Structure 1
Amino acid sequence: MRLDPRTTDRLFSIFFRVHALIVVCVLLAILFLIAIKGLPQLSPAFLLQSPKDMGREGGIFPFIVGTFLLVFLSLLLAIPLGVGTAVFLTEYRREGRLTAFIRFGVESLAGIPSILYGLFGFIFFVIRLKMGLSLMAGVLTIMIMVLPTIIRTSEEAIKAVPRQLRLVSHSLGATKWETIVGVVLPKASPGILTGIMLSVGRAVGETAALIFTMGCSLRLPTSLADSGRTLAVHFYILAREGISMEKAYGTAFVLVFAILLVNLLAYYLMHKAMERLS
């Protein structure tokens, strides 16, 4: 029995809506569980105090600061490198063996498990370069981890900029560099920002690589040579060791809230950028 086109469209519409609803329900269920378990733990003391008794008491302030420092410093290094590589691949280099090799390397790095990044960081940064378990070793490891994402998303965003805009800019007397800075990158900024936000999410939620490089110190890192702990690592240790599931859920709630806040800020900035460009 052959269905008419309208019936087929309706069935597929229902099919895809059900799948979308399932995804939303799973997400809401996760958020609801974390909120129910984590909200009772929230208090000024929990957010502003240092941990006590291996995390059973006290707060998570050093881990909030450690997470912020790790993400900020790693992106501070990764964004110029990632966007610069994307500009080189799209604007300064013709298609050839070198660009193919770079793209192959970037795609290969994107598929490497985080535990291998951690082992590399431990062997090279911690031992070989004698950084020890430190914030700097963690920053450099996370920088390498997020580079493929920033490069690929930035490259695709730059490729999507119409070639006619470049030609018009050149015809008005702008140099190649002026065209890239004044025309190409502003037009590609929403896509670049998307890649940066994906990188933020990966950096905030990383655990395995940081245990090998940044360590698990309960203290507040006061320099790049100090060991530290992020919110994700703290949650993992509390849950794995069974130290305090109540504090673990509280940490998870703060972590999820921070990620949602960053995503909302990213969407706002992206919307403003697209309004300005249009």
Structure 2
Amino acid sequence: MKLISLITFLLSSCTQTPSEYFQQHNNTPDIRQKLSDLPLPKGYKRIIAGNNSFAVYARNIQLKSDNTVYLFSGIKKGNQSAQYAVLNIDVGNKDLQQCADAAMRLRAEYLFSQNRYNDIKFQFTNGFLCDFEHYANGYRVKFNGNNCSWIKQTGISYTHATLRKYLDLVYSYAGTKSLYNQMKPVSFSKIEPGDVLLQKREPYGHAVTVMDMAYNPQTKDTIFLLSQSYMPAQDIHILRNQMNDDLSPWYSVNGADIIETPEWTFTKNDLKFF
């Protein structure tokens, strides 16, 4: 159950528009060191969230100075027009960390940073709940046809390297369908950082994560940032809003029911939370 509704957020200040920001800094992306450095449209202020919130975690994610999106193989993604900024989070060297996987990666990294190991758990497509605590305590998944069980194989390790190995396992057997079943729907009026716009389609769907939010006290408008990975596995990046250059990379809560992202179309009914 979501404990914080949109109206409970207080506000912090930052009022430069994206165009003003880049004119001032000669279009140099290097000064954008972390997510909180991304500029706001005039009149908007970032929401103030609790110290242990996903929003605070996300704002401290480092950005790459190179604004190029690379695939897991090290080559450049063909479409370089979708991203506004690139998160400094490794993609790995296998074609695993795709769209739903990026949403799970951000969720897991946030919980890991809070030492909330028992909350790191993701459902496989077959319904098996793969939790990090079992994995960190030396258990590994045994597959028997479509059935899974835990078997003790090694020692205890709660390192970040162990988390990455656990996530590669999750990526291999989870996806948009399993994440769709695991997450719960929520009204768009209660959108919060950490929520996910998620569609399950055939043969595949897509997922993007709400990273940050801001509010305009005069117009009463709320805006949000979205991040994604895609296929093949690639750097997680902040999406541009190609439907509104003045607002980009932000999207408006008060906008149309259809949310057009650069590589996928969502509706407000697609919003889910963990």
Q: TM-score, normalised by structure 2?
A: 0.26
Task: Report which of the two has the higher share of helix.
Answer: 1
